[in-house]
Structure 1
């Protein structure tokens, strides 16, 4: 690498300072202890009701009831603690899977390191999109603008300058005082580079930075995801309805002359039966499991809600480079403006290959000029690594470095021999970059960028007549085409932009970035899942269209929509703009602002949109979309901060797998809700029937508490571990505004609750009419309800798929939960003390088999409903 860097550290010095002063990390809030998590389990209105019930029980002299309620609360808290602690560990583990990186100069080389390994004195390179990793004193910059709103609260980016004398970096972990006059020469940790480039020394790391001082004074709170808040609201609404029902039951039982204490405990037990107090914990576990499963397919979740939201997508607006393609640019063809044409062999990050003339027309000197322009108007680095070569920087720039090696020119030597006198860094809104270098004794201004942009900067030349045609021919083959131009300048006074005119066009390069082999299958899966996929890129329309057709995003009749066409449509109004967007899946030469307009229109038209992006200018679209997806490998820090999800492999197929996992999570949440609500409704019906037919209560309050908080509580969370049913990507996308409690779930809850409640009461009354003692009738009825729960868990595994078509061993947690719930209840029949409290007694194998046979009726009914619904819906679609 070039040795022209300012003073910097060696790797040995950096290692010593890291050992002495510690890593560059901010103080983190101490994770809650197991004891604190345990105490949190008692912070709930439902728990308060049970506590009150226990106290009243003691007051009324029903000590057994009071002790049992406390025991149940303790067991419930232990289960919740284990669940929440596991979810917390999973979330913390995922945070470490997307580290932040920094480019530093060590041993005269630019290297990429983990930001945590930065030390005071390190020389750091900053580019647009970077999150600044530490407090830095700048020693050079080029139009550097930094968003410091997180520190100052000002939304306008700060332009850095050297107008004031700055503090010098020290060798220790102390930072010089920074006064207001010097702030423009300092960059602060956590702020974001919005534009330009910079080079500076680290003057403070970790908790000694400005943001570190703030972080040490502010505790970190955790906000519940909106999905969980919606569930809690849903639960409270159920509570209000149940309280009214309980009030009616309370009055009826009092009028009948029942004991006041028993009536009160019955009301509490009914409240516990009807209110799914375990639902928020089960949903948190389901989301945490979804996070871990997504991590296995290279999808890291930054926002817990995004687990479920990704599964709701109806439209994916995907970037091209690196997401649909492998992001390994290789220059394959060279066209010189004088007519010369060359082929380049080799592939990927391998410098082996050569440039062979197809028709050079004596333009060898212009070929050298093209190679030098590509090497010098360039910010990338290339170096051999253990398993080949590795490039740092934009992969387009890396491709030019490889071209230089194939030409026989070492870019490091070229940069030394041709010192840089000024530059215009590449920014996506400009679509070009430029550099002034001393080359062959003269000041050459080299420009590299989009062909259309460069042609507007060039002086009239007959040789340019064939450039556009050549560029179009290359683009139709799916190649990315860039142009290179130059001019001679006498002196450099101030900015370079005024010099970008009357350029001499050197030639074109066409590079390939192959489509990822798994993309066509992934796009096909999206179509089967009722998800529309679009490509939005700044590349040439013909290049974008060729890759879109190859991937299956576009058919042969579809044409690309350009940024210019979008501008015209937008000016004609929202209706025309909507027609323009929905008329194609390929958008090329699109600006970042237009990308945001597309996303806004799609959302306005009712789509649930996921967007991919990697640059600082993608941040508005990532924030605007329902789900923002940033690239983990090549994405800028600002893009990753703006996104809900990060792809650690930048692979479109990972998005599809993430959608699949998101749908699994949502389905599992519905399964838990269905199980808890339907069993609770069945118990309420059981009590209502007893009041209606003036029979003794089929189940005592303690038995209802046992049924809901113990036997069912063991099983419900196991549903959160349900694997894929296999048809997630063949289902239609869920309407974005569809409620969780949709008509299908309402049907299933009513049918299953009615069957369980009616059968249980009928059995209880039949036992009484047959002369069986009340205690024994209740004992058998309680066992029947436990068996109903066991069977109902199997029904809950799928809304549409028959249990006979599911892999029985697919969820071992569920099978273990079923056996445990049944085993706990049977064990209670033989446990002295516990069986007395619950009024239980052992049953014969014949009785148990009879009750199991009755419970299986629930499977027959639910299977019949699934079959009816499947045929009815199929017939409705055909008639429609």
Structure 2
């Protein structure tokens, strides 16, 4: 076919929408580009006018902006105020120490966040490559970014369509548009079809859209839209807007931050009132006491520990094929209570597979295996001649290819044709040998209006016509059917009953027929013999069922949202265990009608359903929003552009890495590199581990702060001097305990993370278990520290030495508390000692660092500490050991309570 031969076939205006509807004033289908393509000069002018053919990239903040963001926290504001007041009062060492800590925290947070964003940038794989165009009447290969409206493209099998185009001619063209529409089957195109201007994408058979794949045939097409003016670009513009939803951890941390900040101000106010009522404290002493109190209660080590916990989780998830694009999203999976999953390419392999072969005499063969790999078998007597004849017809009335290369099976062509080649392989046939044995005389290509394809082949001195297509078409061509006893008159009622039974199960059905031909009648598809039917389906991923089961066992609900047929969607959902046989399926048209009645009607329709079919991208976003209104933390998985709006709307967006489109990856918070739904479950488990570790760190820090708070209040009530100065409290929180806080974030999984239901979205970080832990541990530490401080002063020791002993006791309390914080419910004796070697090193190092500080001039002067005897250290260790006994008893009680709970 030459380019000039297309001229007669072009009918201005008959190919559907005018390109102006895409936002461009030019060109039309009758443009000169339909004859000779654009001139190079015209193409350059349009490139200057419309810009390069590239989707927008979201701007990334610079290192300075990231660094500045680290200071946006109520905790930081309080510490800055404390530093300023320290300088005003002449407490320069305390002020300097606070400022250094703030800068170190900001540097750690900046490095981690900047590193995560650089990794995300490396994942970007925008639509790039080359394409073939006609310019100045010459075929050229250019970069896709140089395509402009009006260019004449030459498309062929295997090409990725680089822009929205209007077809002017094609031959046997089929296009995979699943990334836009969710339809797993390739769409046959017809450039001369009359299409309504408001037709949905799946019905615009005279157009191809950017990002779709040519699976079969070839075509010439005029570019109508590039970059953001394409259908994929419109969605890209939508999903790059500011995100409305927030990750669960951010919601909880923000609430926690304001709770602690509010508690600090209340405590400072109460302490100030108490000191004023006592009348024995100077104004400077009151100010220094309030600064010390603020410093003691604020979990200064939380930002660093939080960042480390997320970074560790990010690395662990990467080992499970989960790439994190945004650091804060590490924990999001663990918090999700609902997963909305796309079907095509996510729960299914996006490769049609023949599941059943049904012969006219009601003989049924089950077929195992999935996808293009010929693994699996045909169950039953495969020597039966009629089964072999059906497979021969499927192989010869076929334009596709299947081969083994590079250690894997690869295919080229329409997925329906490929499925027949795989079936023949499972039967043990040699495709190459069969095609050599029966030479093809003529091919009858598949066309949508015909709904069949065929081939005339010469076998020795006899010629055969093989055909395959829709059962309705094949029945109309057949007068006989093949049975064990030979050809008999066709039983149409029987075959229609077989067809209806398979259709109800959601199968795509193809019928096959043959007849011997003579030279003058070989193109007449009539008086044929019906060979049987095959039932095809896009099979579920073998790991998907177990993964969904694990999600459900962990209290996470899963729903399927697809653009596919309701019967097909429900069949897949039943196989995956998502719904029962009598469960309803909600379609896009049903949601549209419910929306007309109001949001409540739509929510009532959506709430109980777990299978959604024939859903458009905007409706998928609405479904996610509805589940979020029901107080779910929603994660959305998908690989297509049609999934991107919903991923943006959700608390967590998960894109498939292999088949995922660029827009889907850009929108997602996480990317599954192996397209394995089971990897999501591993990500959920690791997300829960991350959150549990963050809880442990928070409980450790707040309990330590509460113990200091309790120590201060008891000291004020007793009329004693401040038990520790501000710089000592800061040292305790950030140095002595800081190493242990960070090391606790390395704690591995306990093994029962998926045995519990997800946390309720309304559940704050400060829930009952943490509050119990803080009150019990903090009361014991603060109370015993006060007793030790009081007795030291009563024994006549200087206040500086009493503070020195109190600080050492608090450091020892922190060592034991860190070890026992490894689990909220399990005994320390039940945990592997070396499972977290970082903590096992951090505990003795923290103790040794404090002891070394006692002997180092300069540091000991700033901290106002001095060495103590071994006997004194032993006595303090004995006192601190009581905390271990108390916490073990609390865990034992909690375990009994959990076992007794229904």
TM-score w.r.t. structure 2 length? Answer: 0.69
Of residues 771, 778, 783 in structure 2, which corresponds to 1:753?
Answer: 778
Partner of 1:656: 681
Query: 1:214-250, CA deviations, whole angstroms, 9 ceiling, x for partnerless residues?
Result: x9xxx99999856335423431342233223213423
Partner of 2:841: 816
For the Cα contact (< 8 Å) 2:636–2:653, is it kept in 1?
A: yes
2:737 partner SS: helix
Specify whether residues 561 and 676 from structure 1 end up closer, same or farther in structure 2 by C-alpha distance, changes over 3 A only.
same
Partner of 1:96: 122
State the superposition RMSD in angstroms: 6.2
For the Cα contact (< 8 Å) 1:566–1:577, is it kept in 2?
A: no
For the Cα contact (< 8 Å) 1:791–1:858, is it kept in 2?
A: yes
User: How far did 1:811 drift?
Assistant: 2.2
Partner of 2:760: 735
Specify whether residues 696 and 566 from structure 1 end up closer, same or farther in structure 2 by C-alpha distance, changes over 3 A only.
same
Specify whether residues 390 and 801 from structure 1 end up closer, same or farther in structure 2 by C-alpha distance, changes over 3 A only.
same
1:483 partner SS: strand
Matches within 5 A, 1:304-383: 304=327, 306-316=329-339, 318=341, 323=346, 330-331=353-354, 333-335=356-358, 349=372, 370-371=394-395, 375=398, 382=402
Take 1:82 and 1:46, find their aligned partners in 2: how far apart are those partners?
16
For the Cα contact (< 8 Å) 1:72–1:710, is it kept in 2?
A: no
2:411 partner SS: strand
User: How far did 1:659 drift?
Assistant: 1.3
For the Cα contact (< 8 Å) 1:682–1:754, is it kept in 2?
A: yes
Partner of 2:258: 236
Partner of 1:496: none
For the Cα contact (< 8 Å) 2:341–2:637, is it kept in 1?
A: yes
Partner of 2:878: 853
Take 2:111 and 2:508, find their aligned partners in 1: how far apart are those partners?
53
Query: 1:646-669, CA deviations, whole angstroms, 9 ceiling, x for partnerless residues?
Result: 322222321211111121122122
User: How far did 1:762 drift?
Assistant: 0.8
Partner of 1:267: 290
Specify whether residues 401 and 828 from structure 1 end up closer, same or farther in structure 2 by C-alpha distance, changes over 3 A only.
same
Partner of 1:247: 269
1:391 partner SS: strand
User: How far did 1:296 drift?
Assistant: 1.7
Take 1:693 and 1:738, find their aligned partners in 2: how far apart are those partners?
38
Partner of 1:386: 406
User: How far did 1:821 drift?
Assistant: 2.5
Of residues 65, 71, 74 in structure 1, which corresponds to 2:97?
Answer: 71
User: How far did 1:860 drift?
Assistant: 1.6
For the Cα contact (< 8 Å) 2:243–2:649, is it kept in 1?
A: no
Of residues 862, 865, 870 in structure 1, which corresponds to 2:890?
Answer: 865
For the Cα contact (< 8 Å) 1:324–1:519, is it kept in 2?
A: yes
Take 1:874 and 1:354, find their aligned partners in 2: how far apart are those partners?
48
For the Cα contact (< 8 Å) 2:700–2:817, is it kept in 1?
A: yes
Specify whether residues 526 and 333 from structure 1 end up closer, same or farther in structure 2 by C-alpha distance, changes over 3 A only.
closer
Specify whether residues 59 and 848 from structure 1 end up closer, same or farther in structure 2 by C-alpha distance, changes over 3 A only.
same
Query: 1:666-711, CA deviations, whole angstroms, 9 ceiling, x for partnerless residues?
Result: 2122122212222112111111111101112211122122222332
For the Cα contact (< 8 Å) 1:318–1:536, is it kept in 2?
A: yes
Partner of 1:592: 615
User: How far did 1:777 drift?
Assistant: 1.0
For the Cα contact (< 8 Å) 2:693–2:745, is it kept in 1?
A: yes
Partner of 2:418: 398
Q: Report how many aligned residue pairs link the two structures.
A: 779
Of residues 108, 112, 116 in structure 2, which corresponds to 1:82?
Answer: 108
Take 1:627 and 1:248, find their aligned partners in 2: how far apart are those partners?
42
Matches within 5 A, 1:184-333: 225=247, 227-228=249-250, 230-253=252-275, 256-302=279-325, 304=327, 306-316=329-339, 318=341, 323=346, 330-331=353-354, 333=356
For the Cα contact (< 8 Å) 2:652–2:669, is it kept in 1?
A: yes
Take 1:680 and 1:39, find their aligned partners in 2: how far apart are those partners?
27
User: How far did 1:772 drift?
Assistant: 2.1
1:841 partner SS: coil
For the Cα contact (< 8 Å) 1:531–1:733, is it kept in 2?
A: yes
1:276 partner SS: coil
TM-score w.r.t. structure 1 length? Answer: 0.70
For the Cα contact (< 8 Å) 2:394–2:421, is it kept in 1?
A: no
Take 1:416 and 1:620, find their aligned partners in 2: how far apart are those partners?
49
Query: 1:275-304, CA deviations, whole angstroms, 9 ceiling, x for partnerless residues?
Result: 334434533443333233222212234455
Matches within 5 A, 1:105-120: none
Matches within 5 A, 1:561-710: 561=583, 563=585, 587=611, 590-592=613-615, 608-618=633-643, 622=647, 626-637=651-662, 639-640=664-665, 643-710=668-735
User: How far did 1:484 drift?
Assistant: 4.8
Matches within 5 A, 1:424-435: none
Take 1:553 and 1:311, find their aligned partners in 2: how far apart are those partners?
20
Partner of 2:510: 483
Take 1:221 and 1:510, find their aligned partners in 2: how far apart are those partners?
45
Take 2:363 and 2:807, find their aligned partners in 1: how far apart are those partners?
89
1:832 partner SS: coil
Take 1:37 and 1:829, find their aligned partners in 2: how far apart are those partners?
37
Matches within 5 A, 1:804-843: 804-843=829-868
Query: 1:518-559, CA deviations, whole angstroms, 9 ceiling, x for partnerless residues?
Result: 55654553344233456677579699669956x6667xxx42
Specify whether residues 750 and 66 from structure 1 end up closer, same or farther in structure 2 by C-alpha distance, changes over 3 A only.
same
Specify whether residues 201 and 47 from structure 1 end up closer, same or farther in structure 2 by C-alpha distance, changes over 3 A only.
same
Matches within 5 A, 1:410-449: 418=443
Unaligned 5+ segments in structure 2 are: 7-33, 38-51, 134-141, 181-188, 194-205, 458-464, 480-488, 515-527
Q: Is 1:794 the equivalent of 2:819? A: yes
User: How far did 1:353 drift?
Assistant: 11
Query: 1:824-861, CA deviations, whole angstroms, 9 ceiling, x for partnerless residues?
Result: 21121011021112110111222222212212222222
Unaligned 5+ segments in structure 1 are: 9-21, 108-115, 150-158, 164-184, 425-432, 488-502
Take 1:839 and 1:262, find their aligned partners in 2: how far apart are those partners?
17
User: How far did 1:127 drift?
Assistant: 11
Matches within 5 A, 1:136-155: none
Larger mean CA deviation between 728-737 and 92-101 belongs to 92-101
Take 1:210 and 1:567, find their aligned partners in 2: how far apart are those partners?
21
Partner of 2:519: none
Specify whether residues 850 and 794 from structure 1 end up closer, same or farther in structure 2 by C-alpha distance, changes over 3 A only.
same
For the Cα contact (< 8 Å) 2:256–2:766, is it kept in 1?
A: no
Larger mean CA deviation between 715-724 and 682-691 belongs to 715-724
1:311 partner SS: helix
User: How far did 1:637 drift?
Assistant: 4.6
Specify whether residues 471 and 299 from structure 1 end up closer, same or farther in structure 2 by C-alpha distance, changes over 3 A only.
farther
Specify whether residues 45 and 643 from structure 1 end up closer, same or farther in structure 2 by C-alpha distance, changes over 3 A only.
closer
User: How far did 1:260 drift?
Assistant: 3.2
Specify whether residues 87 and 58 from structure 1 end up closer, same or farther in structure 2 by C-alpha distance, changes over 3 A only.
closer
Partner of 1:717: 742
2:534 partner SS: strand
For the Cα contact (< 8 Å) 2:349–2:538, is it kept in 1?
A: yes
User: How far did 1:784 drift?
Assistant: 0.9
Larger mean CA deviation between 275-284 and 314-323 belongs to 314-323
